[in-house]
Amino acid sequence: MNNPRFSITASDNLPETLKILAVRLSSLGDIILTYPFVSEIKRLYPGSEIVFLTKEQYAEAAEMHPGIDKILIYNAESRKEIAGYGFDVIFDLHRNQRTLKLLSSLGTRVIRVRKDSVKKIVLAAFKVNLLKDYAPVYRRYLNALKEYNSAASDEYTETPGLLSGESGINGSYILVSPSSKHFTKRYPSERLLNLVRNVRTTIVLTGDSNETDVDVCSYLEKNLSKSVNLCGKTGLKELAGLIRNAELVICNDSGVLHLAETLGKKTFVFFGSTVKEFGFYPQLDTTVVMENNNLECRPCTHIGRSDCPKKHFRCMLDIDTTPLETELNNY
């Protein structure tokens, strides 16, 4: 192609048509953060075939990116299926013992993402920060691509062509997602209610079908005058449609944050027990992070915990929510 945007500057003389396998088995946020990686492959190699290997429960997240051509579901036959596909290159974006075994000795070049797992544990357990030059997760994926082609960009990009469903909601609304897998990443529901109680705009509540999310959303719905409770009632594409059409999004550090960012939606997010060095921090200027940076005990985990080990939960309870309160005055 003559367009310099698609020129290849790597030392290898690489074709534009490639069969590429990307492996990321879980979870929702991690897979959404592969979207810039997928988009960059399609920019460099418009005629490439991108196959994505993941667990069945996360297949919809991969299907939503228009650049992914085929989904493979991870199972006992995956190694045989991969071996027979004839891939030109494999990107291991998960890099654990399972994928190391799965992708070994296939006769295909495998490029593995750098994870810095030990450094994350050291920061959480001993408060020794060896991640000062950290790379966000999406950039770690792009850096793996740069190993294959030095022309690859390492910039975050939104996904305007993301496949989504209809919101089904008439009029303006604010999307509130109080869910997160771990307790220490969930802003307390009572405090969240106090923040949104007097909003004149409709509040749309979303979450998974697990008991915690259902209970929290039911509590909020019961105490809000204008709300629509869709907790456990939407698939991922419908959730994307709801986010796309919302006035703004309020959420915890979760997959909803990353979905909102890939759609370029203004978002207010609560960060509790985790910190930016772990790589899942927002990338857009339109995202406002609310967190408590004045605690010696933070981070207490690199993933999330079922309770506060100090029993005070100040990482959430002492957050300054003034930016969100000011914004909500407009609604």
Q: Are strands 109-112 and 173-177 parallel, antiparallel or unpaired?
A: unpaired
What distance in Å separates the CA atoms of residue 249 and residue 246, rounded to the nearest whole number?
Answer: 7
Helix (DSSP H) and strand (DSSP E) numbers for the chain: 13, 11
3 state DSSP class of 53: strand
Domain 4-148 fold is Rossmann fold (3.40.50)
Instruction: Please report, for the chain, the start and end positions of each structural domain, with discontinuous segments joined by +.
Output: 4-148, 173-328
Sign of CA dihedral 122, 128, 130, 133: positive
Say what the pTM is: 0.91
Answer for the pair 178, 35: CB distance below 8 angstroms, yes or no: no
Same fold, 4-148 and 173-328: yes
pLDDT tens digit at each of 331 positions of the chain: 333 333 344 445 556 689 999 999 999 999 999 999 999 999 999 999 999 999 999 999 999 999 999 999 999 999 999 999 999 999 999 999 999 999 999 999 999 999 888 888 888 888 888 877 778 999 999 999 999 999 999 999 999 899 999 888 989 999 999 999 999 999 999 999 999 999 999 999 999 999 999 999 999 999 999 999 999 999 999 999 999 999 999 999 999 999 999 999 999 999 999 999 888 999 999 999 999 999 999 999 988 999 999 999 999 999 999 999 999 999 9
Class of domain 173-328: alpha beta
Answer for the pair 168, 27: CB distance below 8 angstroms, yes or no: no
Q: Which tokens is 47 given?
A: 């005629």
The number of beta carbons lying within 10 Å of the beta carbon of residue 117 is 11
